[in-house]
Structure 1
């Protein structure tokens, strides 16, 4: 009888792939959990169950709940840069943000929860992208393309709120349009309407 083949230890490259896969599973599960319950209501045990990993692995990779939340925040900042690259017309940026309810609904819900749970802490989202947009709107004002009595910062807030309406006001949408506010058909139409309105306002 031949001896059984000894178990081979995983190579460094294989361990790295497993590590990256585990981190990705945890991040996806955390985005869903935070999006469903907010930071305060989310449970690390529930995130681990969603990801199919043990709780200790979350501590190992992210140093607990706060570190995991910060990692997701960094992911969202990277996503913002993809949605609104420099030079892209504002109506198209807004259309893309509105379409996140189709492509990344958990991320949009998480952003809404961030606002609901905001208590004036120092942990704030990156404002670099918003600053660029506000400066562009101010330039349009100086050129006479936008009314002088508009506050560019307030306008940006209103526009962002508009793109998130299917997530934050689904009951209003269903009540006014009789449409499922989460259906891809409605969300694509809504995103197009957001861009059309922005163009009619002279924003691009």
Structure 2
């Protein structure tokens, strides 16, 4: 009897975890489509195929969903690029992560436009660290020192997010599908030509 009860509890736990994951995926889609301010828990519940109260039960509401998504992204980002990766490898990895998950990327764009609470202190600190990382790469001779390190970082962000924020412009200017491997290869090649130290 005890074994059967344990099996039932395991099944319930697995079912609850699947429900949580469906809700989180639906939240990414809803936030990506409408931004944090425009998204509604009812819309998230409909996308996930669950009762709206389950969002409050599992996450405490819309803000709890956003907090969990941010926590997961920070966790994923920390493991995304090895510390000894070159700039080209890092850029390529972030480019793929951004374009492979356009709903996540749209959520970042909504936030950058001032939707919701805006950029967190952790995100601001991360950007400052990234600029310093660019400066170290320049000082080490990996990238040209002719450009401001902040500009280099901004250029990398622009090229990474342009297919999400300006897809028609990318298509018309470069003549390729914005999410395609052709875009990724072209951008990686051209950016490194601009940034390569002589």
* Cα deviations by residue, 1:13-38 (Å, 9 ceiling, x for unpaired): 11210111011000000000000010
Bigger relative CO (Cα 8 Å, ≥ 6 apart):
1
The secondary structure found in structure 1 opposite 2:82 is: coil
Residue of structure 1 in register with 2:156 after alignment = 159
Residue of structure 2 in register with 1:202 after alignment = 196
Higher helix share: 2
**Does residue 11 of structure 1 match 2:8?**
yes
Q: CA deviation at 1:87?
A: 1.3
* Cα deviations by residue, 1:42-80 (Å, 9 ceiling, x for unpaired): 111010000011110000110000111111111221232
Distance 1:155 1:123, change over 3 A: same
Residue of structure 1 in register with 2:33 after alignment = 36
**Does residue 92 of structure 1 match 2:89?**
yes
Kept in 1, the 8 Å contact 2:59–2:65? The answer is yes
Kept in 1, the 8 Å contact 2:111–2:119? The answer is no
Q: CA deviation at 1:40?
A: 0.7
| TM-score normalized with structure 1 length | 0.81
Query: 5+ unaligned residues in a row in structure 2: which ranges?
Result: none
Distance 1:83 1:191, change over 3 A: farther
The structure that has the greater radius of gyration is 1
Kept in 2, the 8 Å contact 1:95–1:163? The answer is no
Q: CA deviation at 1:198?
A: 3.7
Kept in 2, the 8 Å contact 1:96–1:191? The answer is no
**Residue-pair matches, total:** 192
Provide the rounded CA distance (Å) in 1 between the counterparts of 2:41 and 2:69: 14
| TM-score normalized with structure 2 length | 0.83
Q: CA deviation at 1:144?
A: 5.5
Kept in 1, the 8 Å contact 2:35–2:110? The answer is yes
Q: Which of 157, 163, 183 pairs up with 1:190?
A: 183
**Does residue 175 of structure 1 match 2:168?**
no
Summarize the alignment of residues 4-153 of structure 1 with structure 2, pairs less than 5 Å apart.
11-118=8-115, 121=118, 123-124=120-121, 126=123, 130-143=127-140, 146=143, 148=145, 150-153=147-150
